[in-house]
Structure 1
Amino acid sequence: MRRWSWLAAGISAALVFTLGGAAAAYAAYPDVPHHVTVLGIEIGGKSKAGAKRALNEGLAKRAGDLAHPMTVKIEGKVATIQPEDVGLAVDVDATVGKAAKVWPNPITALFGRAEVRPVVSVDAKRLVAALKPTADAISTPATLPGITFEGTTPKPIYPVTGRGLDAQRAAEAVRNAWLHETEAVVPIADIVPVSTAADVDAMMAELALPAVAGPVTIQTEKGPLTATPQQIAASLVITSDESGKLTPHVDEAALRAALKSELDKVEVHPRNATVGDGQIVASSAGTLLDTAALATDLLPVLAKPSPREVSAAIKPVEAATTTAELAALGIKEQVSTFTTSFSGGLSSPRSINIITGAKKVDGALVKPGETFSLNGYTGPRGYAEGYQDAPIIMNGKLTPGVGGGMSQFTTTLFNAAYYAGLEDVEHQPHTIYFSTYPSVIESTIFYPNLDLKFRNNTPYGILIDTSYTEDSLTISMWSTKVYDSVTTEWGAKRNWEEPETVTVPAGPGCIAREGGKGFAQDAWRIFHKEGKEVQREKFSWRYDAEPRVTCGTPKSQ
């Protein structure tokens, strides 16, 4: 027995010595223990910085696997998501931090590895948006609580529980399954708004009804203003956040619009530096009521009984574009100009659309390196923005549509940028040819799918100047000239196509046309500097034949 005791003691001593040596080795690394792996990638025995580099390098080698589409099941319905679209990624910093907390294990050092499950991140909002088309087929939307106003009468919206995607539960299911399972199973959950019917009733009694019970006096250094119950109702918003919690606020933009006639009594609007009569027009500062602060200060006052008042500051406001800024950007001379003509005077719907666009873009500043997007600058062009119905091209034919005429504005702007030598980023000519526009170098637009974009690839700023007469639109670019001139050479029209004849039922939707031939053509933009051609850029387009359209007799009722 003593012999076996000595033998056991010897083995124990040897093991202690070996394990002690391993433990001593571990002590030399203060961050990630030895033999730690993530997805099979060795990151152990390194500092945190070294482990992050190793993990990033390993993940880069597996980029194809990480980008593979993922299958998601929602109560039997199948959706496919792209990891990049929903922000699915290995959180390298968090994963290494997790790995650093693994307790140093000498046994693992001798006999195996410690695999750490990666920390995965996902954008829950983008994930829900990606899954929404599939989930909608089996979901019942919740009714979120709120209060609307019909005139000055508040109307309650009571909450109703729905069934759908819970963002956090969906994100958790996808995070857990990615990289480990063939698919993720995302549950449909009850969507219960946080605020209850009782909360809505309390909000009605404590805020909505008192808010419109009487006016509020707004004290300013230039005298008092009055916010009427109608103006208060137009700017008080009582809706829910994503969780269904009631969140009242006063909308600043709505408040400013509602109080316009009152604000005109005390405000002087700043004027941007711009161009007029062929020269720079200096900017001027203004003084505006601080409606952002007023919107915040007004909300608690609305719950109080009359008489009520709130103070508002009038602040000096610089012009958005100052004379000094134009000078610093080298905006000093006209570098291009382009004019197109229209008929119908200034009162026709088509002309109104062109003028509305011109007023919106007039004075736009494009700094060096910036890309100008016409859709991005004007936003939607609908009835609410002042646009009217006028002919647009739909399916190769002219038909009435809101914003008709903006293609002429777009073509004029495109040519102004073209002859200024600016970089063409995105444009698309019309599908059919209009003799009023230069062939090939023209552009249509349709919000939000078709856009006009150009980049200011010069070292100087660009100021866009728009002007119009009763029958013409002119757009000019002001900057510092980079080229002596920019010209165009057109190739011959080719591959002619004869138009067909179609009959459309007579009525407001039919616009008779004689039609036109289709053809293909090239155009070259030529840049000149110091008397020499320094660059040549090719543009090509094919126009479809425009059908001959006749309007038939309306069908009998």
Structure 2
Amino acid sequence: MTARPEGARPDDTVILNAGPDGSVTVPDEADATVPLPMSSNTVVMPAQRDVPPQEQLPPPPPPAEKKSRRGVLVATAVAGLLVVGAGGAGAYVTAGDIPRGTEVLGLDLGALSRSEAEKALGDHVAARSAQPARVRLDGKDVTVKPEAVGLAFDVPATVDAAAGSGRRLFGVKIVPPVVRLEAAKLEAALRPHVNPKRVTVRKPAITFKGVTPVATYPQAGLDLDGAVAAERVTGAWPTGQVADVPLTTRPPAMTKAQVDALVTDVAKPAVAAPVTVEVGAESFQLSPAAVAKGLVFRADSAGVLAPAIDGKRLRAAGKAQFGRVETAAKPATVRLSGGKPQIVAGAPGRVVDVTKLGPELLGVLAGPAPRAVTGVLAAAESETSQADVAELGIKEKVSTFTTYFTGGRSSPRSQNIITVAKAVDGALVRPGATFSLNGHTGERNYAKGYKDAPVIVNGVLEPGVGGGASQFTTTLFNAAYYAGLEDVEHKPHSFYFSRYPSVIESTIFYPTLDLKFKNTTPYGILIDTATTGRSVTVTMWSTKVYDSVKTVYGPRRNVTSPRTVQREPGPKCISSSGLPGFTQDAWRVIRKDGQEVERKKFTWRYDPEPRFVCGGD
């Protein structure tokens, strides 16, 4: 059913919803309940026409309970978003072992695991690790190889530092790389490049003049500071920059009084008396002079002195004393056996262990006499092993030369030739080494078995110890000459002797005249000597390098006749028949692989040997 109240507009209707009991409530317009037929649930009513629009009431506000619920819902939604955002941010920040925004040498390691970070950083610095460190040392440019000073990136330590750099949501954290460096090696590498004139610091020192200690007192000044150098290099090298390392002023690390105390308490008592060294059932004494040679005062990098024993210097100074209880090692060598070179094994020696003797000695040097220490013997291997000798390639004869003499084995001159030949027999000349006859035999004197025989002194023949050694010298020179070895030093006789080849011969006189030759081949040389009652032979054994070595002579020229010289009769006068003088050239011609590889000219002018007459008109 449709009802239109009085004054309502035909097109304005109000929809009313019936309740469960069939009644309808009219909001804001009426407070009455209108009964409706039981068959209908909805009634549409027109709006009242007699109410002006401007006087109509505003719509009612929503209930207070509904507003409160809406605020709670918004607040809850915002809080939820905050919780979700905070959780996401936390997950973002804590991802990986390395905090986000962490960089090393321009490489972002953020959110990586440790193993991933080590792999990435290792690859990143691989090329840099091989680059030398550039140093401007007191204004001078120097490069240092990383491997020479232990300069290297410590990748694991750098990753540890990155992992502990702190978590952050925003921003970047630059973590410097961890770099390893051996400061002592760096200082040693830089020290040779320092201008000595620029170093004004003076370190203390205590030395000995004989057995008297002499002190040098410290003084402040400029010097290379190893710690400063290490700091500058480790800071600059990772980025390829130049490390500026200046010289710095360094104060002395010791006072004059401290140096004087070392002299009084250590240096002076050390050389006040000998020290007995007991080795098993034997013993020997180290003299104060030997102790002074072996006792050294070394300054560390800071300039602090400390006493120490230099074993090599001590052994050299007390060589004769050490020799009483020691047995020298025998090196492996080569000997001829059955006409062929054979390697002979060496044998270890027994020597006093100076590394153990040093601390024992230091412990008693400051004490009063008598002083004694215990020494122990240690095995000393030979410096030359069988393998070393085998590598020399000594396997065949490469040259040989023989000269002849008169008088048999019994004459003093012949005995001198035999003695010097025995001294040289078996000598080894390694590749690149220079052999010196004077250096090998030392002074040829009576103590070594040499006799008086004629020698040339100031142009005249006189008896002298070792006369005849020059014949062996000539024989040795020719053997080296025909082996193709390099002539380093030799001098022919002033007079010509027919028993020698002209020009290609040599005299000797200790210590002013020597015979030296250099082994320029890649193989070792074994010098073999042999004598008979009328000859001496020198043979060189090695590996043959050249096809042939020959001598081409030029003619004699500028021939001069001898004069007669009368001398006072006596034991120093040796008569002779005289020989002419002349000048001659000789060329050594060496061929290898079918071609001439050397043609070297030797020239000598012989003086005429006077006819010496002892006494008479």
User: What SS is found at the alignment partner of 1:107?
Assistant: coil
Structure 1 stretches lacking a partner, 5+ long: 346-351, 365-371, 389-404, 419-427, 437-443, 446-450, 456-462, 478-484, 491-512, 526-538, 551-557
After the TM superposition, which residues 493-532 of structure 1 pair with which residues of structure 2 at under 5 Å, given as runs? Answer: none
**Deviation of residue 121 (structure 1)?**
3.8
**Cα shift readout 1:175-224 (whole Å, capped 9, x = no counterpart):** 22334585433332122342321121111111111111111222232333
Are residues 1:107 and 2:169 paired? yes
Separation in 1 of the partners of 2:94 and 2:283? 79
Cα pair 1:71 1:81 within 8 Å, conserved = yes
Change (3 A) 1:234 1:63: closer
Separation in 2 of the partners of 1:42 and 1:102? 15
Q: What residue is the counterpart of 1:259 in the other structure?
A: 318
2:382 alignment partner, one of 312, 320, 327: 320
Cα pair 2:298 2:305 within 8 Å, conserved = yes
Q: What residue is the counterpart of 1:295 in the other structure?
A: 358
Identity of aligned residues (%): 25
Q: Which residue identity lines up with residue 261 of structure 1 in the other structure?
A: A
Cα pair 1:86 1:124 within 8 Å, conserved = no
Are residues 1:163 and 2:222 paired? yes
Larger Rg: 2
Tell me the TM-score normalized by structure 1.
0.57
Cα pair 2:295 2:307 within 8 Å, conserved = yes
**Deviation of residue 547 (structure 1)?**
13
Change (3 A) 1:523 1:101: farther
Separation in 2 of the partners of 1:304 and 1:203? 13
Change (3 A) 1:453 1:306: farther
1:51 alignment partner, one of 100, 117, 126: 117
2:306 alignment partner, one of 247, 262, 279: 247
Q: What residue is the counterpart of 2:367 in the other structure?
A: 304
Separation in 2 of the partners of 1:115 and 1:329? 60
Change (3 A) 1:295 1:476: farther
Q: Which residue identity lines up with residue 373 of structure 2 in the other structure?
A: V
**Deviation of residue 15 (structure 1)?**
2.5
1:81 alignment partner, one of 139, 143, 164: 143
Separation in 2 of the partners of 1:162 and 1:310? 42
Q: What residue is the counterpart of 1:214 in the other structure?
A: 273
Q: What residue is the counterpart of 2:205 in the other structure?
A: 146
**Cα shift readout 1:91-145 (whole Å, capped 9, x = no counterpart):** 133553444533462525xxx6543222234454555466557752772332221
**Cα shift readout 1:303-325 (whole Å, capped 9, x = no counterpart):** 1111111122234x264379xx7
User: What SS is found at the alignment partner of 1:219?
Assistant: strand
**Deviation of residue 248 (structure 1)?**
1.0
Change (3 A) 1:9 1:476: farther
Q: What residue is the counterpart of 1:17 in the other structure?
A: 87
User: What SS is found at the alignment partner of 2:199?
Assistant: coil
Separation in 2 of the partners of 1:44 and 1:259? 68
Q: What residue is the counterpart of 1:237 in the other structure?
A: 296
User: What SS is found at the alignment partner of 1:25?
Assistant: coil
Separation in 2 of the partners of 1:321 and 1:56? 44
User: What SS is found at the alignment partner of 1:300?
Assistant: helix
Change (3 A) 1:211 1:131: closer
Structure 2 stretches lacking a partner, 5+ long: 1-70, 404-412, 414-419, 444-472, 489-502, 505-516, 549-582, 606-617
Change (3 A) 1:193 1:263: same
Are residues 1:277 and 2:336 paired? yes
Cα pair 1:215 1:229 within 8 Å, conserved = yes
Between 1:288-297 and 1:465-474, the stretch displaced more is 465-474
Cα pair 2:400 2:540 within 8 Å, conserved = no
Q: Which residue identity lines up with residue 311 of structure 1 in the other structure?
A: T
**Cα shift readout 1:330-373 (whole Å, capped 9, x = no counterpart):** 89995456458899x9xxxxxx9xx99x96x66x8xxxxxxx98
2:175 alignment partner, one of 111, 116, 136: 116
Q: What residue is the counterpart of 1:96 in the other structure?
A: 158
Change (3 A) 1:55 1:271: same
Q: Which residue identity lines up with residue 245 of structure 1 in the other structure?
A: V
Are residues 1:72 and 2:72 paired? no
User: What SS is found at the alignment partner of 1:203?
Assistant: helix
Change (3 A) 1:321 1:123: closer
Cα pair 1:255 1:295 within 8 Å, conserved = no
After the TM superposition, which residues 430-449 of structure 1 pair with which residues of structure 2 at under 5 Å, given as runs? Answer: none
Change (3 A) 1:286 1:138: closer
**Deviation of residue 169 (structure 1)?**
0.6
Q: What residue is the counterpart of 2:499 in the other structure?
A: none
Q: Which residue identity lines up with residue 140 of structure 1 in the other structure?
A: V
Cα pair 1:37 1:115 within 8 Å, conserved = yes
Cα pair 1:273 1:326 within 8 Å, conserved = yes
**Deviation of residue 291 (structure 1)?**
2.9
Separation in 2 of the partners of 1:162 and 1:453? 52
Cα pair 1:139 1:162 within 8 Å, conserved = no
Cα pair 2:332 2:389 within 8 Å, conserved = no
> Greater relative contact order: 1 or 2 (C-alpha under 8 angstroms, separation 6 or more)?
1
Separation in 1 of the partners of 2:369 and 2:278? 15
